[in-house]
């Protein structure tokens, strides 16, 4: 059994050289990144009662699943976390490793998926950001991810809701009209309703702690947290 969708891996492998190009195919993720970093940092500090502003994630064992080129792994490392990052694309891992070495960052990059990873450890924090809509078997993916999380540890999952609005905004708008993303980046059938995510979380010892909508503030040209989760949303689960 596997969570790897080969078609998705091939798609992102072809774009791997552009991960760190802020004006390239991953420009929307670069735009999205400040919100993701701040959200994760705040929630981790609150959950683990961390007071220090200097290296606030120091000694936090963090696993970034579906890390791509390391756009989140590197900031987490800079905040002090001990980062292990995995991706099913060897090309993505090569790009991520090269970039982190250039920046003297110690990140343990591995070409793997949650069901194949061979690590004799569990993590305080797991990131599943913009990945669940690309996996082959979501239940298996969450099950294996949950097994890698310590009890009382937290998992962040960011994805796209399965609504008419998300089809219009995330596919028609972002891919075809605005051309923020290459056509075919997303498949609407793979989008995940929050209710389904919460239900699968419960099955796999994950309790929902928080769910927030995420949207683009057109006037400020930046991503913000919002009540509306009909398109993009981010969740925080706790291992119980």
Residue spans per domain, the chain: 6-161+190-239
Per-residue pLDDT band for 132 (boundaries 50, 70, 90) equals very high
How would you classify the pairing of strands 123-129 and 232-239? unpaired
Per-residue pLDDT band for 182 (boundaries 50, 70, 90) equals confident
For 125-153, what is the mean pLDDT? Answer: 97
Which residues lie closer than 8 Å to 65 by C-beta, 6 or more apart? 86, 113, 114, 126, 127, 128, 131, 145
Task: With CA atoms as reference, report the closest residue to 167 among 193, 201, 130, 141.
Answer: 193
Alpha carbons 233 and 108: distance in angstroms, whole number: 28
Res 177: pLDDT:
82
Architecture of domain 6-161+190-239: 3-Layer(aba) Sandwich (3.40)
Task: Give 54's DSSP letter.
Answer: S
Res 5: pLDDT:
93
Four-residue CA torsion sign, 121, 79, 20, 97 = negative
Torsion of CA 89, 112, 152, 215, to 10 degrees: 10
**Among the ranges given (99-113, 139-153, 173-187, 205-219), the one the predictor scored with the smallest mean pLDDT:** 173-187
Alpha carbons 209 and 156: distance in angstroms, whole number: 10
Alpha carbons 188 and 198: distance in angstroms, whole number: 19
pLDDT over 90 (residue 223): yes
The mean predicted confidence, pLDDT, of the chain is 95
Is residue 211 within 8 A of residue 191, CB to CB? The reply is: no
Per-residue pLDDT band for 104 (boundaries 50, 70, 90) equals very high
Alpha carbons 124 and 131: distance in angstroms, whole number: 19
**Among the ranges given (8-22, 127-141, 175-189), the one the predictor scored with the smallest mean pLDDT:** 175-189
Per-residue pLDDT band for 184 (boundaries 50, 70, 90) equals confident
Cross-sheet strand order for the sheet of 108-111: 108-111, 82-87, 61-65, 123-129, 149-160, 232-239, 206-217, 222-226
Is residue 126 within 8 A of residue 148, CB to CB? The reply is: yes
Backbone dihedral region for residue 163 (phi beyond 0: left; psi -120 to 50: alpha; all else: beta): beta
Which residues lie closer than 8 Å to 43 by C-beta, 6 or more apart? 154, 156, 210, 236
pLDDT over 80 (residue 178): no
- pTM above threshold 0.85: yes
């Amino acid at each position: 059994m596997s969570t790897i969708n080969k078609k998705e891996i091939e798609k992102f492998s072809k774009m791997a050289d552009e991960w760190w190009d802020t004006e390239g195919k991953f420009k929307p993720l670069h735009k999205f990144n400040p919100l993701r970093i701040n959200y994760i940092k705040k929630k981790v500090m609150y959950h683990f009662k961390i007071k220090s502003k200097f290296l606030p994630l120091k000694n936090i064992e963090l696993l970034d699943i579906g890390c791509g080129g390391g756009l989140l792994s590197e900031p987490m490392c800079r905040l002090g976390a001990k980062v292990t990052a995995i991706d099913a694309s060897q090309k993505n891992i090569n790009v991520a490793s090269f970039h982190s070495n250039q920046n003297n960052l110690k990140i343990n990059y591995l070409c793997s998926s949650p069901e194949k990873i061979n690590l004799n450890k569990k993590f305080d924090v797991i990131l599943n950001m913009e990945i669940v809509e690309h996996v082959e078997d979501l239940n298996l993916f969450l099950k294996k991810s949950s097994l890698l999380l310590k009890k009382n540890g937290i998992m962040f999952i960011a994805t796209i809701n399965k609504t008419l609005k998300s089809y219009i905004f995330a596919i028609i708008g972002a891919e075809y009209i605005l051309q923020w993303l290459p056509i075919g980046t997303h498949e609407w059938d793979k989008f995940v309703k929050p209710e389904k995510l919460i239900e699968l979380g419960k099955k796999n010892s994950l309790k929902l702690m928080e769910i927030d909508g995420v949207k683009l503030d057109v006037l400020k040209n930046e991503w913000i947290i919002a009540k509306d989760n009909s398109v993009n949303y981010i969740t925080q689960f706790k291992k119980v």
